[in-house]
Amino acid sequence: MIALARHGETDYNAVRRFQGHLAVSLNERGREQAQELARLAAQHEWAALICSPLARARETADIVGAAIGHHPEEDARFAETDRGDWTDLSFDDVAAAEPELFAAYQRADPAFTFPGGESFAHQQLRVMEGIDAAHQGPRPVLIVTHRGSIRLALAVLHGDESHRSAEVPNGSLVELP
């Protein structure tokens, strides 16, 4: 089994701001979500714990790892999309300045590329490469990652594009088919 978990909340999540690859830590609520995720994860036996190297995912994985007895192994393939020029901007500001592009982002249009950043297509390729590699290693494995990475993986693995915009709350755990 492979399961994906979304990191706990950050202040950027709370105010709807693009964090991309910024080193944004969990807020108090996010640390509570990570503790709850750790309690949930501790109900299972895990052979490995992998995480995105971004601060919010690593912090979540460290909390989970302490509960399940594993040190997280970082894998950049599970990082959030590089948000390019939108990094550190609010959703509202981007929606006002670039409404058509923002609408494509919200639809999770497979052809969408963040201005100055990464495309969803590229992110999907690297996430699926990471999942394929995880299938080759010890299992069950828990991967702490980001909403975008989880959505793209679910779309591919379920063969259903509606997963590209699925709700994936902070601190949630999703088992892959």
> What residues act catalytically?
7, 80
Q: Which residue has the tokens 């590089």?
A: 82
Q: CA-CA distance, 163 to 173, in Å (whole number)?
A: 15
Q: CA-CA distance, 25 to 11, in Å (whole number)?
A: 8
Q: Phi then psi for 157, rounded to 5 degrees?
A: -70, -25
Q: CA-CA distance, 54 to 40, in Å (whole number)?
A: 22
3-state secondary structure of 107: helix
Q: CA-CA distance, 103 to 109, in Å (whole number)?
A: 9
Query: How big is the CA angle at 82 (ends 166 and 28), to the nearest 5 degrees?
Result: 65
